[in-house]
Amino acid sequence: MDSLDQSYPGWRAFAESVPDGVIVVDCDGVIRGINQHLARLAGRDEAGLIGHHLSLLLDGDRHDRHDRHLAGFFAHPFSRPLGRGYDLRLLNAAGESLAVDIAVSPLVVADETWGIATVRDVSRERDAQVAHREMEQRFQLAFENSMSPIIFTDLDDNIMAANDAFCEMVGFSREELIGGDSRLFTYPEDVGITEDSHRQMLEGRVDKMRYVKRYLHKDGRVIVVEVSRSPARDEAGNILYYVISERDITEERALTSQLSHQALHDPLTGLANRALIEDRLSQVRTRIARQGGLGAVMILDLDDFKGVNDTHGHLVGDQLLIEVARRLQGVSRSADTLCRFGGDEFLYLADGLHNPDEAEAMAARLLAALNEPFTIAGALIEQHASIGVVVWDDESPDRDQVVEEADVALYEAKRHGKGRHVLFSSAMHQRVLTRMTHLNELREALLAGELSMHFQPIVDTTSTEVVGFEALMRWQHPERGYIPPTEFLALAESSELIVDLGAFAVREAVIAAQSWEESAAGVAPYVSVNVSAHQFRDPGLVDIVAAALAESGLDPSRLVIEVSERDALSDVVTSVATIERLSELGVGVALDNFGAGFASLSYLVRLHPRYVKIDHAFSRPAIDNVYNDALLESIVGLGAKLHLPILAEGIETSDQLGRLRRFGCEISQGFLFSPAVPASDVAAMIAELREAVASTRD
C-alpha cells in the first residue's frame, strides 16, 4: 500500500504547517497519513496509525454511527461535509475520549477519492459549554424554585422575569408583572424609593443597594419588604440587567415593634415605663436648653392604695391601676408623656409650658379625673391621689434631681392631708433632708437599742387596783435627749419603718407582761399596745402578734391591741377581718379616742372591742357643767348595756376620779395613778400605788 508521502511528497510540509491535527483516510476508512499534531492528540506514533482503520481512534459506541457518516460522505464527497453537527470523540492511546471538531474535504489520489480532515481538540470548549448549560439549568432551577422572591429588571427598570415566590408575595401573576415596573405593587407613599435607587445605580454612584419599603398586595394588604438590588454586568463591566431579591419582613417588623413596645411600656397599664420616661426627660431637657420655655414633672401617688389590695385583693388592685391610667390618659395633653413609675405611682411629663400656673392647672386636672368612684368587680372604690409638681427651665438641675424634687413636693402634699398637689420650692428640700436625717436616726435607734417601752397603769376605777398597762414607746436620743412620741411616731408613720416599730412594741410588751405578778385577786395585769392605721391594715400584723406570743409564752388573753376609732372605722371590712383573726388567737382589740372621730355607735356591736377608751374631752372636760356630765353618763351607760367596759384616760385629779366613780366608769388611766415607767420599775410602781391607796383608806 502506497503511503501518502510517496504519492504526494509535498503534503508533509503542508500538514505540519497546519496548527490542527491532519489525517488522510481512503474510501475504506484506512489511515494513509497524519501529521505530528494528530499523533500527539492520539498519543501514538505515526507508524502505529498508518495502515490501520480509522476505528482505532473512535469510541466503541460510536463506530456504527461514524461508519454511516463516512459512507455518506464518500457517496457524495464533493457536496456533503463530514463532522458538522455531530458529537465526535477521539480515543487516544490512554483510553481517554477527547471532544474534537473536524472539517473534511475530498482528496483525489490516483483516481481514488480519499478524505483529508483537520482535527481540533475542543474538549475544553465542550466542557465549558456543558458547564455553562449546567450552570444555566441550576440558575434557572434556583430562580424558579427559590423561596426568596426574585425579579430581574432591565435598564429602564421594567420587570423581565419574576419567580413564583415573588408572584406569591405581591399577589400578581407573571403575565401581570412582566413588562411593567414596581409602581404596580408599591404602597403609594413609598413610590420613588425604587426609582431613586435605580437612578443611583445607573449613574454609578453605588454598586449595590439595600432598602426597606412597603408593598401593597393585590388583596389590599400592606407588606413590608427588605429589597437587595445589584447589577448583572458583561465582561466589559456594562450593566445588562438588575437582580433584585426581596424578603417579606412584615411579621419581623411587627414582632420588633411589639418587643420594643414591651421594653418601653408598662405591661399592666400600657403606659410608658421608667426607661422610656427617662429618655423623654432627656429629650425635653435638650429641647428646653436649645429653644427655651418650661417643662414640668409631676409625680402622682395614689392615697391608701395598699388598703385596696388588702381589702379587695391584688387582682382588684391591678384593675384599679388600669382604670386610673385610663382616666389620667383621658385628660393628658398629646404632647405630654404619662408613665407608670412603679407600684401605685405615676409620673407625668409636661412639655412646652409658658408659666408654672399651667403646670398646676394640669395637676388639678389629673386629680379631678379621680373624683368619681371606681366600680371594680362589683365594688365601689373611692381612690384619690396626691401630686408633687416641679417646673424647670434651662438652668434647672439634671433629670434625676428634678424627679427627686417632685418626690419631695409629693411628700409635702401628703403631709398636708393628701388629695392635693404641691409645687416644689427650695425650702421643701431642706425640710425633707431634715426628715430623712431624723428617719435614718430613728432606724439606727431601733437597731442600737435606744428605743424602749414604758408602761402606764390601767386601774379599776372603784378599787384603784392595777388591771393592766398601756405600753408606750420612748426614745432617748444620745445627743438630742428625750424625743416625744408624737414627733418620732409621726415621722415613722410616713414610712414603712412604722411596721418595724410596731413589731418591736408588741414583742417588748408581751415579754414584759410575762414577768408581771398576779394581783391580790389572783389576776395578772394585761398589756395594751397601740398600733397605727397602717399597722392595723397590714396583713402581717397577726403573724407578728402570734410570733411574739409564741416567743414570750404570754397568755393571749393578756394582750390587747389598741387602734383609734377613726382608723378602725375608715375601713370597716378590713378592721372586722383583722379583729376576727386576732380573736382566733385569743387577743382582744380596744377602740382608742372614742367619740373624737366618727363616733359611729352602730359599728360598736359589729367590731365588738374588748373595751372602749373615751377621749380626754369626756373624762376631763374643759368646763364642768350638767351637759358634759350627762354626756359622760350616757356613754358609760351605753357601755354597760352593751357589756362593753369604758376606759377613761387622762385622769389627773381626785375630783376627776370621783366623777368617774359617780357615773360607774369601770377603768381609768392617767398621771393621778402614775406616769409611764420602764419595765424594770413596774413592780415598784404597783407597790407604791397600793400603799398610796391603803393610806388613803386609813
Q: Are residues 290 and 246 in the same domain?
A: no
Residue 406's CATH number = 3.30.70.270
Is the pLDDT confidence value at 677 over 60? yes
pLDDT computed for residue 544 by the predictor: 93
Distance between CA atoms of residues 358 and 159, nearest Å: 59
Q: Read off the pLDDT of each residue in 38-47 and give the average, rounded to a whole number.
A: 85
Number of domains comprising the chain: 4
% of the chain beyond a pLDDT of 70: 90
Using DSSP's 3-state secondary structure scheme, residue 541 falls into helix
pTM comes to: 0.51
Q: Are residues 554 and 618 in the same domain?
A: yes
Place of cell 435598564: 155
pLDDT in tens, 463-517: 889 999 999 999 988 888 888 888 888 778 777 788 899 999 999 999 999 999 8
Q: Are residues 121 and 199 in the same domain?
A: no
Residue 220's CATH number = 3.30.450.20
Q: Are residues 280 and 366 in the same domain?
A: yes
Distance between CA atoms of residues 579 and 590, nearest Å: 10
Length of the chain counted residue by residue: 698
Mind giving me the DSSP string for 412-433?
A: HHHHTTSSSEEE--HHHHHHHH
Task: For residue 189, give its domain range.
Answer: 146-254
Is the pLDDT confidence value at 451 over 50? yes
With cut-offs at 50, 70 and 90, classify the pLDDT of residue 377: confident
Least confident of 215-224, 361-370, 515-524: 515-524
Higher pLDDT, residue 342 or 571 = 342
Residues 273, 265: contact at Cβ < 8 Å? yes
Q: Are residues 183 and 300 in the same domain?
A: no
Say if 131 falls within a structural domain: no
Say if 138 falls within a structural domain: no
What average pLDDT does the chain have? 83
Which residues neighbour 226 within 8 Å (Cβ) at sequence distance 6 or greater?
Answer: 210, 211, 212, 246, 247, 249
What DSSP designation does 48 have? G
With cut-offs at 50, 70 and 90, classify the pLDDT of residue 372: very high
> Which of the listed residues 125, 158, 192 is the one where a domain comes to its end?
125
pLDDT in tens, 66-75: 777 777 777 7
> Which of the listed residues 254, 288, 310 is the one where a domain comes to its end?
254
Residues 214, 170: contact at Cβ < 8 Å? no
Kindly state the cell numbers that stand for 674: 402614775
pLDDT in tens, 518-546: 876 678 899 999 998 878 888 889 999 99
Reference 648, options 603, 592, 604; nearest CA is: 592
Is the pLDDT confidence value at 85 over 50? no
Distance between CA atoms of residues 525 and 543, nearest Å: 23
Say if 431 falls within a structural domain: no
Residues 93, 49: contact at Cβ < 8 Å? no
Say if 155 falls within a structural domain: yes
Q: Are residues 62 and 210 in the same domain?
A: no
Say if 652 falls within a structural domain: yes
Say if 490 falls within a structural domain: no
Say if 481 falls within a structural domain: no
Q: Are residues 296 and 198 in the same domain?
A: no
Q: Are residues 285 and 248 in the same domain?
A: no
Distance between CA atoms of residues 174 and 162, nearest Å: 6
Distance between CA atoms of residues 622 and 629, nearest Å: 12
pLDDT in tens, 291-318: 888 889 999 999 888 778 877 888 888 9
Q: Are residues 108 and 189 in the same domain?
A: no
Residue 656's CATH number = 3.20.20.450
Residues 102, 66: contact at Cβ < 8 Å? no
pLDDT in tens, 235-258: 888 888 888 888 888 887 777 666
pLDDT computed for residue 439 by the predictor: 83
Dihedral angle over CA of 226, 230, 232, 238, nearest 10: 150
Q: Are residues 277 and 238 in the same domain?
A: no
Q: Are residues 544 and 666 in the same domain?
A: yes
Which residues neighbour 395 within 8 Å (Cβ) at sequence distance 6 or greater?
Answer: none
Q: Are residues 213 and 326 in the same domain?
A: no
Say if 391 falls within a structural domain: yes
> Which of the listed residues 424, 448, 482 is the one where a domain comes to its end?
424
